Amino acid sequence: MELQSAKTETLKEGAGQRRHEEEEGGGQRRHEEGGGGGGRQKAPMKRRQEEERVSPPKKLVIDHSGKVASHYNSLQEVGLAVRSQSRIFFMRNFNNWLKSVLIGEILDQVRGSGSPKVSVLDLGCGKGGDLLKWRRGGINHLVCADIAGVSVDQCQSRYEDMKKKSQINEKLFSAQFINADCSKEVLSEKLDDPELLFDICSCQFVYHYSFESEQKADMMLRNACERLKPGGYFIGTTPDAFELVKRLEASDSLSFGNEVFKVSFQSKGFYPLFGCQYHFSLEDVVDVPESLVYFPLFEHMAKRYNMRLVVKQRFSEFFEEKVKKENHRSLMMKMMALQPFPCEDGGRQATDSRGEYDHAEEHCVRAGVQLPLGTLSRSEWEAASIYLVFIFQKMS
């Protein structure tokens, strides 16, 4: 199988995964020895150990789907008044701005290629945080799918609300809502229109949950890509595994983070290709196990679905490129994606902690820019800069 060659790599070194598995196997062996009650090893036990060394024991496959679904189901929907008091208000706006730019540019591409009616799959739609973006983009049909049933219901009622309030002369897109584990179930079997093909699949801050196992990662990829039209796009955002590992290796413990987020691993040095779990917590928004997505493997797996990688950019790179355009800059202002520094009269700084705005002060001095400038607190930027943007296109 083609994938096999990629499987022998790990994030850091080929031997890493093998050593990791052997260590796990070793734990199992110690357990058995204890059960046997003997201090000295018996010959059959030794032979079994030799055999295990030749073919490492199977890794336990951990499934956190239930945990992920109940975490997202339990998140309360809060209004703008509460949201604006959040420590990560500007970072969330920044992420939203980034998604808006990504979605807007892809819609332009799709329209430019002459697609008369645009259909979109929002894979891991959550509570419908992107519904307005699809409305603004004037799409014709949207399918929203998510593992968290409560979120899907909230997404649907948000849509119904939108429909009620939409202007008489505005034709809001039609929509279908599906509650499904998209890393286990085949979505195309649940579509109201079995013939439906998508122009875009958008998978925002979701794909990493599927990298628990090869089967799950492949099913998620299949759902994202199998119903795409030739020339259609699979777009998304996900943590950059290289960045996470770099920060872990630089830390003198098994975790790193700051006052807004924390990432904790169980070990370091060995990074299996699938199921390399870490725990991610972000203020009051995320508190779940996630898995590293080794991007070269993701890209390799996507080829099975005839997908070619068009863009892979860290959030920082994407921001630097897009902010050069006037329309993106004015959207940024409108969405309050950056915090004015120093904060304006009546404005609120996200934090009073020391050192959180040193970079902004230094930038003012160095570049001699006019105040106020737009920025994020250091902690928010450290969290946002973990992520990357990807765009794949289906080859015809």
Ligand X SMILES: C[S@@+](CC[C@H](N)C(=O)[O-])C[C@H]1O[C@@H](n2cnc3c(N)ncnc32)[C@H](O)[C@@H]1O
Taking the least distance from each CB to ligand X, the nearer of 17 and 223 is: 223
Residue 278 makes contact with ligand X by CB under 6 A: no
Taking the least distance from each CB to ligand X, the nearer of 123 and 360 is: 123
- Strand-pairing partners, residue 146, are 179
Residue 290 makes contact with ligand X by CB under 6 A: no
Extended strands (E) in the chain: 119-123, 141-146, 174-179, 198-204, 228-239, 255-257, 261-265, 277-282, 286-291, 307-314, 339-341, 373-375, 387-394
Residue 271 makes contact with ligand X by CB under 6 A: no
Taking the least distance from each CB to ligand X, the nearer of 130 and 356 is: 130
CB 22 within 8 A of CB 58: no
Has 181 been labeled as part of a binding site?
yes
Residue 236 makes contact with ligand X by CB under 6 A: no
Residue of minimal Cβ distance to ligand X: 126
CB 245 within 8 A of CB 226: no
CB of 385 to ligand X, least distance (A): 17
Give CA–CA dist 87/347, Å, rounded. Answer: 14
For 343, how many CA atoms within 13 A lie in the half-sphere containing its CB? 13
Tell me the Cα Rg of the chain: 23
Taking the least distance from each CB to ligand X, the nearer of 88 and 360 is: 88
251-290 b/e (C-beta count within 10 Å ≥ 16 → b): eeeeebbebbbbbbbeeeebbbbbbbbbebebbeebebbb
CB of 151 to ligand X, least distance (A): 5
* Assigned token pair, 282: 């972000």
Residue 72 makes contact with ligand X by CB under 6 A: yes
Q: Which of 120, 142, 143, 148 binds ligand X (CB under 6 A)?
A: 148
Give CA–CA dist 144/128, Å, rounded. Answer: 8
Q: Which of 124, 137, 239, 275 binds ligand X (CB under 6 A)?
A: 124
Has 99 been labeled as part of a binding site?
yes
Give CA–CA dist 123/200, Å, rounded. Answer: 10
Q: Which helix (H) or strand (E) holds 156?
A: helix 149-165
Has 95 been labeled as part of a binding site?
yes
User: Residues in contact with ligand X, total (CB under 6 A)?
Assistant: 20
Residue 234 makes contact with ligand X by CB under 6 A: no
Q: Which of 151, 156, 277, 291 binds ligand X (CB under 6 A)?
A: 151
Q: Which of 101, 162, 182, 338 binds ligand X (CB under 6 A)?
A: 182
Taking the least distance from each CB to ligand X, the nearer of 129 and 232 is: 129
Binding residues among 194-213 for ligand X as defined by CB under 6 A: 204-206, 209-210
26-39 b/e (C-beta count within 10 Å ≥ 16 → b): eeebeeebeeeeee
Taking the least distance from each CB to ligand X, the nearer of 17 and 238 is: 238
Give CA–CA dist 92/71, Å, rounded. Answer: 19
Piece of the chain touching ligand X by CB under 6 A; list 26-34, 68-76, 77-85, 135-143: 68-76
Give CA–CA dist 163/156, Å, rounded. Answer: 10
Residue 91 makes contact with ligand X by CB under 6 A: no
* Assigned token pair, 129: 């945080």
CB of 5 to ligand X, least distance (A): 27
CB 237 within 8 A of CB 99: yes
Residue 120 makes contact with ligand X by CB under 6 A: no
CB 289 within 8 A of CB 277: yes
Q: Which of 147, 293, 301, 302 binds ligand X (CB under 6 A)?
A: 147
Residue 126 makes contact with ligand X by CB under 6 A: yes
DSSP tag of 130: T
Q: Which of 94, 181, 274, 275 binds ligand X (CB under 6 A)?
A: 181
Residue 68 makes contact with ligand X by CB under 6 A: yes
Taking the least distance from each CB to ligand X, the nearer of 216 and 328 is: 216
Q: Which of 129, 137, 232, 239 binds ligand X (CB under 6 A)?
A: 129
Has 306 been labeled as part of a binding site?
no
* Assigned token pair, 350: 């996200």
Annotated binding site: 95-96, 99, 124, 146, 181, 204, 209
Annotated binding site for S-adenosyl-L-methionine: 99, 124, 146, 181, 204, 209
The site for ligand X (CB under 6 A) is made up of 65, 68-69, 72, 124-126, 129, 146-148, 151, 181-183, 204-206, 209-210
